[in-house]
Structure 1
Amino acid sequence: MTMYDIMKNAKDVSLDDIMERQILLGGKNLLKPFHKVGSKSSERLEFIKKFYEYAKENKDNFNTSWSEWLKNHKDSVKDLD
């Protein structure tokens, strides 16, 4: 549900606000790692941040695939905060 929310709302809503809405709907805070660095939750956190940037930058109704976008943005999404 979080990824769908991101796809639909990233251009108008911050990632923190999207996550807050998901928490209020009964989901977990996927932006907060629950374990040490290098764990699955850390990997998930980085994935969600990158996916948010992908959705926010999208200008072609998601005709540009995630894989294609990621190849073209590898360096620019390394250190998202």
Structure 2
Amino acid sequence: MNTVKIKKLILKNFKGIKKLEIDFKKVTNILGENATGKTTIFDSFCWLLFGKDSKDRKDFEIKTLSPTGEALHGLEHSVEANEN
């Protein structure tokens, strides 16, 4: 069985997160108040690895939304992972 070890996760305009880099250590905890991006980080893993969100939906919205809920156009959206 192969093992994938992600050392760094980089999000750019993914859902509500404009820019975020997470350097993973041996143990990394993601903590925060409600509506601060914990599920968005998990969704980014799922989207990167499986093309789905954490609720197993392929048709979920990854675009950054305006305060009125409209998708902002013209932004580059990406999720990257490094293994070194």
TM-score, with structure 1 as normaliser: 0.31
Q: Which has the higher contact order (CA 8 A, sep 6+)?
A: 2
Query: Between Structure 1 and Structure 2, whose CA radius of gyration is higher?
Result: 2
* Greater strand fraction, Structure 1 or Structure 2: 2
* Greater helix fraction, Structure 1 or Structure 2: 1
